[in-house]
Chains A and B, each alone.
Chain A
Amino acid sequence: MSLRLGLLAVLSLALVAACAGGALGTAARQRVSPLLGALVGAAAVWTGALAWSGGTGGLVVGTVLPGVGARYAPDRLGGAFLVLVGAVTVLASVWALDGARGTAASRTAWVAYPLFVLGLLGVMAAADVVAFLLAWEVMAVASAVLVLADHAHRPEVVGAGLWYAGMTQLSFLLVLGGFAVLASAAGGTAWADLARLAPDAGATGLGVGLLLLGFVTKAGAVPVHVWLPRAHPEAPSHVSALMSAAMVKAGVYGVLLVVVRLFPAGPSWWGLVLLVVGSVSAVFGILQAGVAADLKRLLAYSTTENVGLILVAVGAAQVTTARGDVATGHVLLVAALLLTSGHAAAKSVLFLTAGSVLHATGLRDLDRLGGLGRTMPWTCGAFGVAALGAAGLPVTAGFVAEWTLLQALVHAGGPADPRLGLVSALAVTVVALTAGLALMTFTKAFGIAFLGRPRSDGAAAAHEVGRAERVAAALGALAVLGLGLVPGPMATAAVRALGVDGVTAAGTTLAAGVRLGGVAAAPGAVGGAAAGADGLVPVLDPLALSLATLAALVVVAGVVARLRRRAARRAVELGWGCGGARVSPRMQYTATSYAEPLVRIFDAPLGVSRSVATTTADAPYVVRAMSFRQRVRDVFEEHGYRPLLRAAARVGDAGRALHNGSVHRYLAWSFATFVVVLGLAAR
């Protein structure tokens, strides 16, 4: 079956959805537009699956600019990302049936939404530079419109929208520049033309450098992450889900496009750059997420962390491959794809359920939430599963991905290559610290929001949300669990998407774990007495792990059932009341107090400032009132962007001297420009 049909279906459905969004009345729009969005997503999943399994064909748009055409023909890797984006779109659209209200369901928003999805899909499906850039710009503009959906009611949305628009256009310019350099050096715009360039040539290096910078800006890596913690919280929740789970992946796809598809034989410094950027992003992102009290801001910073881990995997793959350890490099690339899919599943659920919490309580501030587990059991369950996934615990997709990454890292290098060993030791440290802090972050997010007692009236008045929101969250949570319980098919599919080897499904049935044949130690290096030829290949079978746990728990359940007959559970007002410790909900730990140890330990990288003011009566020991203020800043923004913005403002001020309102002067400027252009053209 040709891909042409699928691509046409996606294109026409998206255009119909955009027209419907513009033409329908409010009530009809709220029913029809989300369904059309879900259809676009489903069509994308279908098309992507075809491309992933090796389908051929494509869609040629004859004229996008005068005399320039564009070709959309996804390969296997693009197909994998199409499936991912399509699946997230389906979830977000289903959620929007109940979840998108008010300004999030305005005419403009429902016109922009399908176009945003179309742009995203176009990026993954593009087969040449023009097609890629066109889709990239559609995606950038439409998403900026969506971020601004609620600008009329909340002033902070405008600031977020400005930052987002600025950064996303910066990323576009960098990608445009990078592709321009590569295309002029290659003399063609198709991927096949670019791939013929020598990877170690100067022009290639410049082009790839610009591209990587542009792509990591879109991916939200440090230090170009500043748009993410602003735009994600202010956008409508289904758009945040789509942005975090799918659009950020466009940046990841771009990086993979460069280092896997165009230049698989690239020099190792590309990988080192990605490793450093990824490491800083991972640790900084999770630290900021750990201390964040705004639920969606926490999730946004955790996106930076996840992108960081993906970049660590890709960077390490590039370095190991360039240093000759190709098999381990392949396993690392598979780990990158597993991280991507696991993160997409978990983060879409987290953003959607955060949106449900926002509806039910009107709050994003964790410090004022609490006790939602009783009033919103579905949302609580889905959030809990997804939080497990984001924290990388078994048996979720996130765990399988982190396990694969760690296994590949500890097998990279080895005694033959100590320098690579040092790199992988540092990478393991980064992954470990990130995983540990992610554990704390998501225990905090889940425990503070859903357990304990309500910390405000809004939280106390919470109610379970509508069916569509619950269904979307539950489906996503099932995906997180499914990919974690039976990771084999996904791993082999990732292998096929990347065109590598080294990872197989363990076992022949569908219920299969992961087997990393690519990182097996050479038989001669084995010191163990009993290890067979196959005994040292890392194998992970989450299903077997779960069954073993279940077997243990059956015994426990038997004992508990007997004990339960003896003594039933009894509800009391105060479980344990030292000093009336439960009198007021305000005496509970809040998200801010939960993160206090982190703030203390990592005060320098977090840029913490705090002030305590005490008002005393006559004697210094009689305290009347105390005020405590603590602020956590983004050091990159404070020391990187503020000076830059100030400098830009100064340049602008200086430029003002050039235009004083005199027409003569403007004519003189025009003439001078004309002469310069003539001079350049005549050269």
Chain B
Amino acid sequence: MMEYVDVDEKLAVDKFYVDEDNAHIVLRELGPGDMMQFHTLELACPAGLYECLPDGTVRFDYAGCLECGTCRILCGTTILEKWEFPRGTFGVEYRYG
């Protein structure tokens, strides 16, 4: 079992301008054969945005993305339908960095 970390609580201190009209990362419809790929994102995403729920369904939300590109490198050609940087002005804004 993967140990759960409440990353949302940490992301809550960060400043985000979420682009409600445009998802900059889109996950494609997943089949049972895609779960291994999805699991790598569950492990690697620093923001914990890829989550496999106990009932076997998956959850992904681009709000809270730190724009690091990890998921693009791991799954950009497999289970991600789209990976772009957020449009100008949108996304995370580091005050300290």
- A pairs with B: no
A interface residues (Cβ-Cβ under 8 A, vs B):
none
